[in-house]
Amino acid sequence: MDTIVAAAVEWVFVCTTSDIPQNGGGCVKVGDEQIAVFNFSRRGEWYATQNLCPHKQQMVLSRGMIGSTGDTCEPKVACPFHKKTFSLLSGECLTGDDYELKTYPVKVEGDQVYIGIE
C-alpha cells in the first residue's frame, strides 16, 4: 500500500502480521499510547487509529468490527459499545457525530508491522 507520509515520521515496529487477526484488529502499546491496528486482509490493506473511542472515552476500537460503506467502499470500523462508525482512511465519524479519530500510517515489511509516529 502506498501511503504518503510526512518526512518527520518515525517508523516503530509494533507486532508481527500474525498477531492481528484477518479482517479484524488488535491493540498495540507504543510507549504509553494505545493504538488499534487493523489487518484488512480482504483488501490487502493495513490501517491504524487511536484505540480510544471518542464517544464515551473507551479503549476499545481495536475490538470493533471492520467493513466498508458506500459506492467508494470507504473502509470503516464500528465501536463495540454503541456502534458509532469511523472511516479508517480519514478517521472521520461516519455516523453523523462530530468526532474524529487520529489515524497513523502503517508499513508492513515481511511479517513485521510498523506504525509511523510523528
DSSP letter for each residue of the chain: ------TT-EEEEEEEGGGS-TTEEEEEEETTEEEEEEEETTTTEEEEEESEETTTTEE-GGGSEEEEETTTTEEEEE-TTT--EEETTT-BBSSS-S-B--EE-EEEETTEEEEEE-
Map the footprint of another protein across residues 9-68, applying CB under 8 A.
14-15, 19-29, 34, 37, 40, 42-43, 56-60, 63-68
Residue of 20, 28, 53, 113 that binds ligand FES (CB under 6 A): 53
Which of residues 11 and 81 has its CB atom nearest to ligand FES in the complex? 81
Which of residues 75 and 91 has its CB atom nearest to another protein in the complex? 75
> Of the listed pieces 23-31, 54-62, 66-74, 109-117, which binds ligand FES according to CB under 6 A?
54-62
